[in-house]
Structure 1
Amino acid sequence: MSESKLTKKVIGDALMDFCEEKSFTKISIQDLTKKVGLNRQTFYYHFSDKHDLLRWVYFEHSLCYLKSENLSLENWEEQALKMLKAMKEKSTFYLNTVTADPEILMNEFSEITQELFISLFNQMDEEKQLSEKDKYFYARFFSYGCSGVLTNWILEGYQESPLEIATQLFRLAQDIEFFSYRLYSQNET
C-alpha cells in the first residue's frame, strides 16, 4: 500500500472510530489529526474537508463493491450483499454519518448505481429504441430510488437483512430487464 493511501486509511479509520463515540457533526479536523498524530496540513494534503474524507471512507469501506471492475449484472446481487454487510458491520458509523448528512451517501451511491443502470439499459436496448437522454433519465430515476431505500434502511435501524435488500435490488434490475423485453416484443407485433 502506498504511503499516501496508508495515511488516508489511518485518517479514515480514526473517523470511523470517532463516529462510534460521538456525532459526526461534533468531530473536528483537529480531533482527527490529534488522534492519529498528524498535523492539519497533512490532513488537507489528502482531503479538502471532513466531508471529502467521509466520501472517501464510504467508497473504500463499502461502495467499492459496486465499482469493481469485475461487476456485472450476473454478480450484482453478490456485490451489493458485500456492500450491505460492510455497512451493517459498522452500523453505528453509518447511522451516525447518514443522520448528520444523508446527502453524501445518497449522492455517492446514486452516482455509482446510475452507471450500473445505464449499463443495464445499454445491454437491454438491442433494438436501439431508447435515446441516450431516456437511458440517462431512467438510470437517474432508479438510482435515486435505490439510494433512498439504502438511506432509509440505515436510518430505520437496519430492519431488513443485507440479503433481503440485496435480493430486492437485484430483482429490480431483473424486472426492468423482463418488462423492457416484453415492451419491445409488444411493439414489434
Structure 2
Amino acid sequence: MAFTDKLAAAKSAPRPTRDVTVALDSAVEARRKELSDELDAARDNDDPRLAAGRDPAELQQQIDALEAEYAAALIVIRFTRLPGQEWAELTLRNPARPNVIADTIVGGYNVHAVTRAAAIVSGVIVDGDEEYSPTEAEWNDLFDTISGYEFGNVVDTVYALNQSDAQQAIELAGKALAAIHDSGRMSLPQ
C-alpha cells in the first residue's frame, strides 16, 4: 500500500476512545458501606440481640435500594485520543515535578496535569446515545467531586489512550516487521 493510501486511511479512521465510569454521590456510597457493615455484623452474630435487632433481610433490601440509587449516580466519561502534536504540546507545557517518580517514568512531564488537561479537551459525558461536553468549570467541579481512585482511573485511561497504547502498538508492529524482514518476505514500501 502506498504512503498516500496509508495516510488517507489513517485520516479517515475514527480516533480511538475509552470510557471511564465515575460516581457523583459519595453520600450514597458512605450509607451503603454502613449498611454493609451492619449486615456483616448481623450475619456474624448468632445472638440477634448483638446485631441490634437488625434483620439481615431488611438490611439487604435497604442495600439493594441504595445500590439502585447509586447506579443512577454513575456517569460515563468518554475520552478520545488527541492528535499527537496536541498531546506533545501538553507534555511540554507541564514539566515533571521534582522528586515525583511517576513523572520520571512517563517521560519527564507532570502526568496528572497533562492527563487532566487532555481529559478536559477530549472528554465528553455519555448518556445513552447523547454526548455532553462539560465546560472547563464543570470539569473542575467534577475532578473536585470524584474520589482519588476515580481520578486515578481517568489518569490511567487518558495516558493509555494517548501514550502507552500507541507505544505498544508501534512496538508490536516493529516486531512483526522484523519477523517479516528476517523471513525474507520483506518488500520495499511504494
Normalised by the length of structure 2, the TM-score is 0.26
Structure with greater strand share of residues: 2
**Which structure features the higher share of helix residues?**
1
Structure with the larger RCO, 1 or 2 (CA within 8 Å, 6+ apart) = 2
User: TM-score when scaled to structure 1?
Assistant: 0.26
